[in-house]
Structure 1
Amino acid sequence: MQHRVVNGTDVLAFWGELDAWADQELTPRVTALLDQAGHRVVADLRKVTFLDAGGLRLLVRIRQYVAAGQGTLWLVPGSPRNWRVLRITRLDRTFTIPACPPYTGGRPGARTGHH
């Protein structure tokens, strides 16, 4: 995972497999970053190659943590596989999934939830 701030938005960019191991390893690091983050957070999954229940658990924790601090979380699923996992679990209805991520480097016209 990489953290950067772009135009006042904290971007958490994940890559590789987002699974139970990643959830266990990344939760303390993500929590520490979110303690110091602003109120605008993006979870960027465009480079995630595998997403399962453990990865979804991490994303839900991030969403809950950001919401508890009165912040906004945007989720950028990226691949069709990630979209499918979000749709099957109906989490596409829970997360804010923008057509264009709210940070530099967004791709206009990207798919949004409920597809």
Structure 2
Amino acid sequence: MNPVVKIVQPSGILDGMKATQFRQEISDIVENGGNIVLIDFKDVTFMDSSGLGALVLALKTVRAAGGKLFICSINEQVRMLFELTSMDRVFEIFPNREEFNNAISP
């Protein structure tokens, strides 16, 4: 079975307001058979703890369905948040979408 890669590209500020919508988008992807999810952060300017919580729940949702979740193109603020919370050890983070494609292509 070929992996089904789905890309989620949030934009602006990933906070409590957008977190619910973001989690719903991940749930929909998993329900529709996406087993590899890439969250492309290139258009995200800021993320707070609510956004981070939504990411952790997204990871649990995807893993529970037997899939994998990856992140790419994070900015300096998001990188610092990940490092402060040790989430950089939990998530597999790629510098950009091209690096991700190279890593998962057979």
Which category describes the TM-score, using the shorter chain as reference length? 0.7 to 0.9
The reply to whether residue 11 of structure 1 matches residue 10 of structure 2 is no
SS in 1 for 2:93: coil
Q: 1:79 aligns with which of 71, 75, 81?
A: 75
Q: Which runs of 5+ in 2 are unaligned?
A: none
Alpha-carbon deviations, 1:11-59, whole Å to 9, x = none? Answer: 0111101001111333233312321142111011111011000100111
* Percent of matched pairs sharing the same residue: 24
* Count, aligned residues: 97
Query: Equivalents in 2 of 1:29, 1:39: separation in Å?
Result: 14
Question: Cα–Cα, structure 1 residues 77 and 90, in superposed 2: closer, same or farther, change >3 Å?
Answer: farther
SS in 1 for 2:22: helix
TM-score normalised by structure 2 residue count = 0.80
Query: Equivalents in 2 of 1:47, 1:66: separation in Å?
Result: 22
Question: Cα–Cα, structure 1 residues 38 and 25, in superposed 2: closer, same or farther, change >3 Å?
Answer: closer
Q: Is the 8 A contact 1:77 1:83 kept in 2?
A: no
Q: 1:42 aligns with which of 26, 30, 38?
A: 38
SS in 1 for 2:39: strand
Shift of 1:77: 4.4
More relative contact order, 1 or 2 (CA 8 Å, 6+ apart): 2
Q: Is the 8 A contact 1:75 1:98 kept in 2?
A: yes
More helix by share: 2
Segments of 4+ moved more than 4 angstroms? none
For 1:59, the equivalent position in structure 2 comes to 55
Query: Equivalents in 1 of 2:17, 2:81: separation in Å?
Result: 18
Question: How well do the aligned residues superpose, as a CA RMSD in angstroms?
Answer: 1.9
TM-score normalised by structure 1 residue count = 0.75
